[in-house]
Amino acid sequence: MYGRKVKLRFLFVVLILLSLVFSVFLLLKSLDENVVYFKSPSDVKLLEELDNKKIRIGGMVKKDSIKISNQDVNFVITDFKNEINVTYSGVIPNLFSEQKGVVAEGFLKDRSFFEASKILAKHDENYMPPEVKKALEDK
């Protein structure tokens, strides 16, 4: 009915469409699994249920809250409304200090306890992560 060339081209188009659909599916699935959401301590308090997804928490490091030992660092992140205890073992950025902005990435143990696997602080003393700035402005 149709020529060989037309069939071939049809096959080609179908193949491309299928691979497109496949890659879009992969992309969306992977995005869903690997996206890290940003929350402030107050957001965490309002969470309805805790799941074990990785999240980021941002705010200020509370004054006199840093406690350090050989294995780990403990501190409190606050947005001046709510607080959350953080325990962390890993690389501590130089700009990490009390009463400065911080973003911690990790897993929630419960609504007031967070186990961080990464701490982010940027390279500029004037810099405040936009998320933190926003979280503090919202209060």
Partner 1 sequence: MLSSLIGYYALILGLTISFPIFFFSIRNFKNREILDNKIINFTFIQLFLVIVSFIGLIFSFIYSDFSNETVFNNSHTTKPLFYKITGTWGNHEGSLLLWLLVLTLFIFIFLIKSKNLLKEYRILTLLFQQIIIIGFFVFLIKSSNPFNYISPAPKEGLGLNPILQDPALAIHPPILYLGYVGSSIIFSSVLSATSLNYISKTWATHIKKWVLVSWIFLTLGILLGSIWAYYELGWGGFWFWDPVENVSLMPWLALTTLLHCVLILEKRSLLSSWVIILSITTFTLSMCGTFLVRSGILNSVHTFANDPERGLFILIFLFILILISLVIFFTFHKTNRDSLVSFSLLSKETSILINNWFMMYFLSVVLIGTVYPIFLDVISSEQISVGPPFYHKLIIPFLIPFLIFMAIGPQLKWMKSGLHSKFYLLILFALSILISFLILKIFNAILLINTILVGSAFYLFFVTIRDFIFKRNKNFSQNLSHFGFSLLILSILFNNIFSTEIITNLKVGEKFDNDKVQITFTNLKKFEEKNYVSFKGYFLIKERKLEDNLEPELRVYNQPNIITSEADIKTSMLSDKFITMNTVQNEEYFNIRYQVKPFMVWIWISVLLISLGGALSLLRGKSV
Segment 12-71, which members bind partner 1 (CB under 8 A)?
19, 23, 26-27, 30-31, 33-38, 54, 56, 66, 68-71
Per the CB < 8 A criterion, the answer to whether 35 and 42 are in contact is: no
The pair of three-digit structure tokens given for residue 80, joined into one six-digit string: 């001046």
User: CA 134 to CA 65: how far, in whole Å?
Assistant: 23
Cross-strand pairs, 105? 56, 118
Cα–Cα distance, 14 to 84 (Å, whole number): 53
Q: Which is nearer to partner 1, 52 or 71 (CB)?
A: 71
In the complex, the smallest distance separating the C-beta of residue 52 from partner 1, rounded to whole angstroms, is: 15
Nearer CB in complex with partner 1: 96/114: 96
Q: What is the DSSP letter of 2?
A: -
Residue in the block written with tokens 């004054």: 63
Shortest separation between residue 79's beta carbon and partner 1, angstroms: 14
Selected range binding partner 1 among 44-52, 76-84, 107-115, 116-124, rule: CB under 8 A: 116-124
Beta-strand pair 83-88/113-120: parallel
* Least separation in angstroms between CB 37 and partner 1: 5
Q: CB under 8 A: which stretch of 44-52, 78-86, 106-114, 130-138 binds partner 1?
A: 130-138
Closest to 114 (Cα-Cα) out of 64, 35, 61: 61
4 in contact with partner 1 (CB under 8 A)? no
The contact set with partner 1 (CB under 8 A) reads: 5, 19, 23, 26-27, 30-31, 33-38, 54, 56, 66, 68-73, 89-98, 122-127, 129-131, 134
